[in-house]
Amino acid sequence: MALHRHVFLGLAAASIAATAVFAESHGNNPAVSARKAHMSLYGHNLGTLGGMAKGTIAFDAAASQAAADNLLALATLNQMSYWQPGTSNADLGDQTRALPGIWAEGSDVGAKAGALVEAATAMQAAAGTLDGVRGAIGGVGGSCGGCHKSFRAPES
């Protein structure tokens, strides 16, 4: 029993060390990598909905609903582990565009995240029709922009 525990602890320590070396060698903190991946998923689904709203993608009710469902799932996913103190651009340089204000006392980042959930909920309800998507896309874009304007550094 004790041998198994030592083997497990040894493997766990090796795994943690390997993860840290991998993250450092690739220039990204794992939390930053997770939030970048999450933002890419937002972008993919918003690209579908926005393209349909603009008419650059043919409207497809099933694809629209799937993208809206995904958007709401992403917005309501617990992201706390992505937003660790010490992972702003002030801490990690060009690895991230997240501004330190996210973690500041009195930050309204939670309210802005709530606005995205509300907008994504409205999009999910409207996604069955092209007019519905066109009517709801502005709220989604506004909620994304509200957070990005306050808490994301411009691209350099």
The parent domain of residue 54 ranges over 29-151
Q: Mean pLDDT over all residues of the chain? A: 88
Crossing angle of helices 30-54 and 61-76, in 10° steps, is 150
Residue 24 lies in a domain: no
Residue 38 lies in a domain: yes
Tens of pLDDT, residue by residue over 35-86, are 999 999 999 999 999 999 999 999 999 999 999 999 999 999 999 999 999 9
pLDDT at 17 over 90: no
Residue 57 lies in a domain: yes
pLDDT of res. 13: 44
Residue 102 lies in a domain: yes
Q: Which residue pairs, CB below 8 angstroms and at least 24 apart, start in 136-145?
A: 137/49, 137/50, 137/53, 140/46, 140/49, 140/71, 140/116, 141/46, 141/50, 142/115, 143/112, 143/115, 143/116, 143/118, 143/119, 144/42, 144/46, 144/116
**Tally of structural domains, the chain:** 1
Give the CATH number for residue 138: 1.20.120.10
Residue 18 lies in a domain: no
Residue 15 lies in a domain: no
Give the angle 33-153-27 at the CA atoms, nearest 5°.
30
Mean pLDDT of 102-125: 97
Find, among 90, 42, 68, the residue nearest to 136 by Cα. Answer: 68
Calpha distance 105→93 (Å, rounded): 22
Tens of pLDDT, residue by residue over 97-110, are 999 999 999 999 99
Residue 110 lies in a domain: yes
The verdict on pTM exceeding 0.95 is no
Which tokens belong to 33? Answer: 């990598």
Residue 109 lies in a domain: yes
